[in-house]
Structure 1
Amino acid sequence: MEKDKQTVLVVDDEQPILNSVRRLLKTAGFEVLCASDPVNAIDILKSNDVNVLITDYMMPGLDGIDLLVLVRENWPDLASIMMTASPDVRVAAEAVNRNLIDFFVTKPWDSKNLVELVRRAAAKNQPAATGSGQLFGKYRLRRLLAQGGMAELWLATIKGAEGFEKKVVVKKVLEHLSRDPNFVEMFIDEARMMSKLNHGNIVSVIDFGQEEGSYFMVMEHVDGPDLRQLLYGPDGNENSGNEAALPVATACFIARQVALGLDYAHRKTDDSGKPLGLVHRDIAPQNILVSREGVVKIADFGIAKAEGIKRRTTPGMVRGTLYYMSHEQITARPVDHRTDIYALSAVLYEMLAGRPPFLGATHQETVAQIVNGSYPPLRKLRREVPRQVVAVVEKGLRRNPRFRHQSAAEFEHELGVAMLKSRLSATQADVSSLVEKRMPREDEEQW
């Protein structure tokens, strides 16, 4: 193979598709390898230097999701693209949320878009942040915060009269997905759902629309890190142990604030008074934002479940971040609001222990631990955690939802009582001090 060419591995059980993609990418200057099934793909990956993996979702035997899980475990830096039929678009979106893929493309694909996605995927470790300082409708894009397989997240500003300027966050859908009606429907569902939520512990949606061919959503800017960064540092790299753990009282305060936001969302009704049946389904440290003022907010309802919203997912699709998935999630059973309570209990455990409760050496080991409900006793990892607090965490982590707290309000109340009995006290000011200590403010970036 020529050294200056990027190598792409295409996996699909339909030979005409393999031939079509091979011709397209070879013409675009890529070296192309093909596999007709995931097992063959693993063998190719073991014996070749591959830059980009493109895989179909639905294949016999080991499917595309199973392949992507194995790839993330063994080749974590390999850029991955999922090909999916349009009715499966939510499956692909959820695979992005689970960090299994970097991009996805729907069938039938646009040749130009597919080549551009492959080029972007091949350069994923050196992304070019274009557009800084440019106007996007009435918003000026200032800095690219994150770039994923579905959207770009920009820090932006909006100006008003008398020199007024406000920071916001613009979630800008990738252009090729803005032309996909199924993805657009999903994005509109998310925006519509989030716009109904107005609570101090939930990130609010300010605006929604379409500009320059891309759909976008505008959210409030939270000046501070997410909880994962607060635990493990700016890069969010795990470093197990008490050096990552938070002060016990502060961890409990943060968990109670998240519970208040969840209770509001779980009880939310539509205009006629009918319960929305909203379940976040991905309560995890990266989706909990902590401001420098000590305010705690839940973010990213992108894979939330709500009654009355059409879903195009395949039955049995597992949704969420693995370490915080409940027993019913991991076994692809129906979920309700108690799944969020379980995930919040897992997050509280992590804040107290400096590691998640379920942490296997591989994906399969972690799944087995969740299914069996086996995790290290909290007080063995950190003796200073009061027994009353441990009891609340353990109740929230029970495998059977019937034996957990039956509402987020109940979780919040019992944790408050446990703090009182343990003589623990924390305030918003304590959270603010912790953020400043662990994440000192750097010089403002010059625009």
Structure 2
Amino acid sequence: MDLRGGRYEILHLIASGGMATVYLGRARGMGGFERLVAVKTMHAHLADEPEFVAMFLDEARLAAQIRHPNVVGTIDVQQDERGVFIVMEYIEGASLQQLLRSLHKQGNTLPLEIALRVFLDMLAGLHAAHDLTDAQGKPLHLVHRDVSPQNVLIGVDGVARITDFGVARAEARISTTHGSQLKGKIGYMSPEQAGRLPVDRRTDVYAAAVLLWELMALQRLIRGDSEAEMLAKVVASETPSPRSVNPDVPEALDAVCMRALEKNPDDRYSTAADFAEALDEAARSMGMKIATPRAVASFVRAHGVHTPLVDLRAKSNAEGQAAQVPTRIENPVSGRASAASFPDRMSSPDRKSSESASAVIVPPDETRGKHMRTAPLVMASVAAVALAAGAFWMLRAPRTNEGAPVVLSQPVPSVDPPTITPTPSMVLAPAPPPSASAAPTPPAMESARAAPSASNTGKATATTKRDPNAPPTATARPSSGGPMYRPSEL
């Protein structure tokens, strides 16, 4: 179990960006309390960069002060031995970018009434961030600076929310970014932002208008083969109207969008709220009905653009169980194998030296399953060889000083093997040394099974069933050369 900050359990990867990775997590508390959260962790290669760490913390500090249903809420910010992480509200759903890409692959488009509902929700959250004040009521002049489809989340509840204030700028922020650095996505930058001029909330109004243009025109507004070419288009080129690209765009909505896309900030809507109000009036003037949150929820669910929470839970549970499967550690030098739970066993101080630096981790996979399926066959073959060898050795009587007859512990089959009259050479000749290839002949294996028995005096004796008409059996020669007796059946 991967636990962060002592109470946030990491369950599953949700998304990864240029600065951080977001995981589905679970907050634990007293009395079995649980709550699903989104845990945003900074990439390891950025953890040692003071500027990125400061920006990361600024996002948490600023976003935590915004309380609005159209803004993804920030719950907590923590730091442990692995670095800083932010705990946010978990939104079950998909980003606007994911929805648009899914529809494009299906050959569909986002209905205008659905697009307007999502867009108006985003403007409401953006206006709440712009109006943010400190504890004394002084405006913080927060600017998101990265309004784009990736940062608009559409929940299965039909509510759209703005998120990711990682490049937001506020005059009263704890740390400041270098003015020469260009941050944000070029395709959604305002001319003043692309030109590294002072920005305010009207910069976000412009970026939002670019997003609306693309939702109505059904294509990207700023495109180019290089960043320099895209920047030039943002600053100098004339912006075509969405209606000129897509004739189905209503004139009233086209006019509202084009005003928000003015190059001069003074000619745009001064606030996101004014922009939203103009869209509402345009829709009413042409009798257009904007979709309700219920309609948006049904649309998102119907197109399956997100992973349902129940599936995420099931996958997280499966991954958790897989993590408990022992990992086989093989030593390529000695060939030894052992079961260990990686990495605990690898880091254990009491590991044997033969399984240290030369150990190779072999994770459980389908190949292991094939080996495990063939294991019974191998074991059966080994058992058969062992039984054959055991039968041979059981038929060879142990050394004894007494001429005790050898009797089999099990009755022989109904067909007795032919008897052989012993000769002196048979009695005195030593038995050949055992070898790996030595094995009793099939008749002997099928007709006899032997088992040693120990007497009270420690002398081993054995009995065998003989034909009453057969001559007396030979006795073992007492010598130090090992057992010399060979049963008459052989």
Tell me how far 1:318 sits from its aligned partner.
Answer: 1.8
Q: Which runs of 5+ in 1 are unaligned?
A: 1-132
Provide closer, same or farther for how the CA distance between residues 366 and 222 of structure 1 changes in structure 2, counting only shifts above 3 A: same
Tell me how far 1:188 sits from its aligned partner.
Answer: 2.2
Alignment partner, residue 412 of structure 1: 276
Alignment partner, residue 2 of structure 2: 134
Provide closer, same or farther for how the CA distance between residues 364 and 354 of structure 1 changes in structure 2, counting only shifts above 3 A: same
Which amino acid in 2 is paired with 1:134? Answer: D
Please give the residue correspondences for 1:68-147 in structure 2 after superposition, counting only pairs within 5 Å.
133-136=1-4, 137-147=6-16
CA distance in 2, matches of 1:177, 1:442: 29
Provide closer, same or farther for how the CA distance between residues 181 and 359 of structure 1 changes in structure 2, counting only shifts above 3 A: closer
CA distance in 2, matches of 1:212, 1:381: 53
Alignment partner, residue 428 of structure 1: 293
CA distance in 2, matches of 1:365, 1:323: 11
Please give the residue correspondences for 1:29-48 in structure 2 after superposition, counting only pairs within 5 Å.
none
Q: Does the 8 A contact of 2:95 with 2:153 survive in 1?
A: yes
Tell me how far 1:175 sits from its aligned partner.
Answer: 4.5
CA distance in 2, matches of 1:404, 1:273: 26
Provide closer, same or farther for how the CA distance between residues 317 and 177 of structure 1 changes in structure 2, counting only shifts above 3 A: closer
Equivalent of residue 366 in structure 1, options 221, 230, 236:
230
CA distance in 2, matches of 1:286, 1:423: 31
Alignment partner, residue 89 of structure 2: 220
Pairwise CA RMSD: 2.2
Provide closer, same or farther for how the CA distance between residues 289 and 392 of structure 1 changes in structure 2, counting only shifts above 3 A: same
SS of the residue 2:56 aligns to: helix
CA distance in 1, matches of 2:250, 2:259: 15
CA distance in 2, matches of 1:267, 1:324: 22
Alignment partner, residue 441 of structure 2: none
- Whichever of the two has the greater Rg, that structure is 2
Please give the residue correspondences for 1:27-426 in structure 2 after superposition, counting only pairs within 5 Å.
133-136=1-4, 137-160=6-29, 163-175=32-44, 177-233=46-102, 243=107, 245-425=109-289, 426=291
Deviations 1:146-170 (A, max 9, x none): 3345432111112345654321111
Q: Which runs of 5+ in 2 are unaligned?
A: 317-490
Q: Does the 8 A contact of 2:47 with 2:53 survive in 1?
A: yes
SS of the residue 1:271 aligns to: coil
Alignment partner, residue 343 of structure 2: none
SS of the residue 2:93 aligns to: coil
CA distance in 2, matches of 1:199, 1:272: 19
Alignment partner, residue 5 of structure 1: none
Provide closer, same or farther for how the CA distance between residues 264 and 360 of structure 1 changes in structure 2, counting only shifts above 3 A: same
Alignment partner, residue 345 of structure 2: none
Tell me how far 1:226 sits from its aligned partner.
Answer: 0.4
Provide closer, same or farther for how the CA distance between residues 300 and 162 of structure 1 changes in structure 2, counting only shifts above 3 A: same
Provide closer, same or farther for how the CA distance between residues 150 and 361 of structure 1 changes in structure 2, counting only shifts above 3 A: closer
CA distance in 2, matches of 1:334, 1:251: 31
Deviations 1:206-260 (A, max 9, x none): 11111233111100011011001111129xxx77xx9464211221121111111
Provide closer, same or farther for how the CA distance between residues 440 and 254 of structure 1 changes in structure 2, counting only shifts above 3 A: closer
CA distance in 1, matches of 2:151, 2:276: 19
Deviations 1:69-96 (A, max 9, x none): xxxxxxxxxxxxxxxxxxxxxxxxxxxx
CA distance in 2, matches of 1:243, 1:380: 22
Which shows bigger deviation, 427-436 or 355-364?
355-364
CA distance in 2, matches of 1:387, 1:261: 26
Which amino acid in 2 is paired with 1:196? Answer: Q
Which amino acid in 1 is paired with 2:93? Answer: G
SS of the residue 2:198 aligns to: coil
Deviations 1:332-369 (A, max 9, x none): 11111000000111111111222222223433332222
Provide closer, same or farther for how the CA distance between residues 157 and 371 of structure 1 changes in structure 2, counting only shifts above 3 A: same
TM-score (norm 1): 0.65
Provide closer, same or farther for how the CA distance between residues 342 and 143 of structure 1 changes in structure 2, counting only shifts above 3 A: same
Deviations 1:45-87 (A, max 9, x none): xxxxxxxxxxxxxxxxxxxxxxxxxxxxxxxxxxxxxxxxxxx
Alignment partner, residue 87 of structure 1: none
CA distance in 2, matches of 1:440, 1:226: 9
Which amino acid in 2 is paired with 1:428? Answer: P
Higher relative contact order (CA 8 A, sep 6+): 1
SS of the residue 2:295 aligns to: helix
Which shows bigger deviation, 320-329 or 426-435?
426-435
Alignment partner, residue 438 of structure 1: 303
TM-score (norm 2): 0.59
SS of the residue 2:94 aligns to: coil
Which amino acid in 2 is paired with 1:285? Answer: P
CA distance in 2, matches of 1:270, 1:349: 34
CA distance in 2, matches of 1:359, 1:179: 34
Tell me how far 1:145 sits from its aligned partner.
Answer: 2.1
Q: Does the 8 A contact of 2:9 with 2:26 survive in 1?
A: yes
CA distance in 2, matches of 1:271, 1:433: 40
CA distance in 2, matches of 1:175, 1:362: 29
Tell me how far 1:201 sits from its aligned partner.
Answer: 0.6
Alignment partner, residue 51 of structure 1: none
Provide closer, same or farther for how the CA distance between residues 174 and 359 of structure 1 changes in structure 2, counting only shifts above 3 A: closer
SS of the residue 2:85 aligns to: strand
SS of the residue 1:282 aligns to: coil
Q: Does the 8 A contact of 1:245 with 1:352 survive in 2?
A: no
Alignment partner, residue 30 of structure 1: none
Tell me how far 1:295 sits from its aligned partner.
Answer: 0.7
Provide closer, same or farther for how the CA distance between residues 364 and 183 of structure 1 changes in structure 2, counting only shifts above 3 A: closer
Tell me how far 1:373 sits from its aligned partner.
Answer: 3.9
Q: Does the 8 A contact of 1:249 with 1:419 survive in 2?
A: no
SS of the residue 1:225 aligns to: strand
Provide closer, same or farther for how the CA distance between residues 442 and 406 of structure 1 changes in structure 2, counting only shifts above 3 A: closer
Which amino acid in 1 is paired with 2:65? Answer: K
Q: Does the 8 A contact of 2:143 with 2:200 survive in 1?
A: yes
Q: Does the 8 A contact of 1:358 with 1:375 survive in 2?
A: no
CA distance in 1, matches of 2:8, 2:276: 38
CA distance in 2, matches of 1:318, 1:388: 34
Tell me how far 1:184 sits from its aligned partner.
Answer: 3.2
CA distance in 1, matches of 2:20, 2:204: 25
Which amino acid in 2 is paired with 1:415? Answer: L
Provide closer, same or farther for how the CA distance between residues 163 and 389 of structure 1 changes in structure 2, counting only shifts above 3 A: same
Which amino acid in 2 is paired with 1:340? Answer: D
Which amino acid in 1 is paired with 2:11? Answer: R
SS of the residue 2:301 aligns to: helix
Provide closer, same or farther for how the CA distance between residues 394 and 157 of structure 1 changes in structure 2, counting only shifts above 3 A: same
